A and B are shown apart, each in its own frame.
Chain A
Amino acid sequence: MAARAMWKGRIRCGDIDVPVKLYSAIKSTSGVHFRLLHDRDLQPVKQQMVNPETGKVVEYEDVRRAFPTEGGDLVMLDEEDLAELEPEGSRDIEITRFVDPETITHQWYDRPYFLGPDESNDEYFALTEALRKQKKEGVARWVMRKKEYVGALRVEGDYLMLMTLRHAGEVVPASALEAPGGRALDKREVQMAKQLVEALEGDLELEAYHDEYRERVLELVEAKAEGKVLKFPTAPGKKAEDESLSKMLEQSIKATKKKASA
């Protein structure tokens, strides 16, 4: 079943003006959704904002917004202020520059969206092809549903993808941190660690991983609903930690080899 486009826009810069439709590349989020209940009557609780000074509930329409300043004050924002802050609506996905694909690392990635052609397939696939041939990524900025985004325009397979990015300052780069120090590593151990990684090397099969925990939670819920007592898996004993690193590495390599040959 084809997904519905969640937004329409135009990729713009210089001679480029390509209308596109935007689709979420994420289906759902994993996990189990619980509700908070009152323990006595198992009623879902209602959340409300309360004025702690008066103890009275403040209805949503009476809630005001304020900005906490560094000096410990609050700056009240009225409706006019909030309207002023709202970004101007636009259909433009403005490309400010093109860079090599490795320039924006995945640490900046936030949410992926597929772009599909709108109005003209020709223009869309021409842009995809041009971007692929130039081996570049576009840096994009746009306003969608009253929110401002920055993103990367990339080629994914035969199609365009728009990846929203985190804003400036939001990523702590590894280069700003100092690695843990200590005595120089033992050459033999370095060699063994490399061997062990190699022994465990394989293809990336992301399809093989599932949210098993979710399944277990649902099983538990089902068992409880039927009044059954669920048996919990027993925790395996903690591994010994007093052995020397070398010994552990050695044994690990042996164990993986055995597995591989079996």
Chain B
Amino acid sequence: MPVTPLDRARRWLFGPVDARVVGWMRASLGALLVTSHLAYAPELDALFAPDALLTQGLFRSDTRWLAWYRLVPDAASLDLLHGALVVPALLVLVGLGGRASLLLALLAQLALMHSNGLAQNGGDRLLRMWTLCMLGSNGTAAVALDAWWARRRGRVPPAVVSGLAVRLVQLQLAWMYCSTGLAKLGGSTWRSGDALYYALLAEHFQRVGGLFTPERLGAGVALWITRLGTWLVLAWEAGFPLWVAWRRTRWVALALGVVFHLGIFATMMVGTFSVVSMWGYLAFVLPALPALGRTGPAVIPVRATPTRRPPPGSAG
């Protein structure tokens, strides 16, 4: 029977991956969720407290029922709520509760967003996307307390799981870079090569105030470096799906991405965006690792899908 393009697409989307790939992705996402959630703590009162100066008159949200941080009466309750809402992220980190903990972690992120969306950045949005993507696979079949608990109860967790989450993360990353790259093609500063010059001089993003000035960047070698960097970023972003689809350019494209994100992290204050973006690279890197990359009996010892271990003495 001929294999149709739809079959290929289905196989690509839902095909199996080593459960440890999804397990490590889930655990590291949990670490990001915990860190990102706790990083709110010093500014909770300023961003959400009912009597905070800058929050007066805001929040005409039609999803008020999800704006949990706006429903608490005082600062002490705010701390309590924030403390309680880190629990789902911790569950994701240790792999307890399967997809339910991911759903709860998503709800906690939505509560922050609907309570004060103006304080959110691209990193927060991408973190929500990653949480949504991870719902596509069973992430607690390995590297998880769920798996450990299953073994203790005589069940054998699956060694391979549907790779939908991995594919969704790959698609999301490719879409994000490519759509942004194409939008930049319409921007005059990207075509002229001056975009990086302007980006580095946007002071509210600068990690070190005054490190870059128009006098230092606007002439000579520095200007040409920023121009070459601009065009390189543009070509890399707009063509990202092609670069990662082609095996020969995949690793160069991912390595360039790491360099770009580390460069942004070192010079600009863009919240968690750099780190959260690089998390998505795990969807390319982990399946390619020799220890995790291949599925099937040739690499992984044969294990059953969840089933009861036979009672002692009944073997044979």
Is this pair of chains taken from one and the same complex?
A: no
